[in-house]
Copies of this chain bind each other. A is one copy, B any other.
């Protein structure tokens, strides 16, 4: 059985090992990497009992309840899914080595821009142990070493999973390192390790992400927070709008691509707001509204929305409604208050739709569809590392290609300046 003692190496030693491993990983062929992934999937299934025992220890100690407890739980079925996920990643195309551009200069220099691994990726995440495996295999597939700093609730599950992957024959020592989750020091050391770590990806709540982006010396890909909007234009098909609003708000309210705000064109507000507010309330949603919305929906329980409401990511069954003059005001409102994640317009008017698609400064902008589609699998990427809400490096759902960098290989015949 896998030991659950925390690896006694220091954070610094682990980072140095990861750095050294990254050089070896970068030289592996696609076939070698895929063989490692398939062996990893087999090892996870073969050692599922150990995983379940380690996870059981986490569950007993965690004190978590409800949805949080369920996020921590690993079952035989979930472990099988995890292994299948690894096989799915093995089957994806390898971006490494791809020629991104190639040209010859007038002086004869031949320049090739080629895709290479980032090097060492640091992940800071919360309780779900499947993130350990998901992110490790995306890193291995792209020839990167990975340093994981998971939540303390999942410490034993993560330790067991990392040991299983690290023990797969051919995985270079240091390719996957797990940091101590019992103190915050390991986070501090990880995010300050500029030169050893090439990127930090925080996956978790808004507080964690804010802490990392503020304190990291290493470049960060900011993920997550979503204050998503739906704008119902005056020409909207109300039945379609109902479906999109109800789906985006209620299908899974705890996730970042769930809708939090509803904007309605003033020309249809009197008709549409009472209609949708009723449906939302029936679906168990707490509805808040600006003064105009509230005056239009007398008899329905709509509490007043404060200015803070327009900034807030509720992550629960709550939605704030506002009346806007037109598509321009909707765009201005969204660009002011949103987290630039996902926003949707429901309209029959192509001009307004094009204006909205171009004018809303968000990672994903929709016309006549639910914001819930902002997701790596829904986009067809076959995997997802996260959803970037920053503009540098990558934006929106990202997976394998975004775990790479590039370099220039230049071939000459003695050229000098």
Contact = CB atoms under 8 A, between A and B. Distances in A.
Interface of A: 23, 26-27, 103, 105, 109, 111, 116, 118-119, 194, 198-199, 213-214, 217, 219-221, 237, 240, 243-244, 247-248, 251, 335, 353, 357-359, 361-370, 372-374, 378-380, 390-396, 405-417
Contact of A395 (B23, B359, B405): B405
B369 A414 contact: yes
A361 B119 contact: yes
Contacts of A119: 361, 391
Contact of A407 (B380, B395, B408, B417): B395
Contact of A243 (B217, B369, B416): B416
A219 B219 contact: yes
Nearest to A104: B380
Contacts of A405: 391-392, 395
Contacts of A408: 363-365, 374, 379, 395-396
Contacts of A411: 353, 357, 366-369
A214 B217 contact: yes
16 contacts: A23-B359, A105-B378, A194-B214, A199-B392, A219-B219, A219-B393, A240-B414, A363-B407, A365-B408, A365-B409, A367-B411, A369-B411, A369-B413, A373-B410, A373-B415, A395-B406
Contact of A199 (B220, B391, B414, B417): B391
B27 A392 contact: no
B364 A412 contact: no
Contact of A23 (B198, B361, B415): B361
A359 B143 CA distance: 13
A189 to B, nearest CB: 15
A365 B213 contact: no
Contacts of A366: 410-412
The 6 closest A-B pairs by CB, nearest first: A369-B412, A247-B416, A391-B405, A240-B414, A219-B392, A393-B393
Contact of A391 (B27, B198, B247): B198
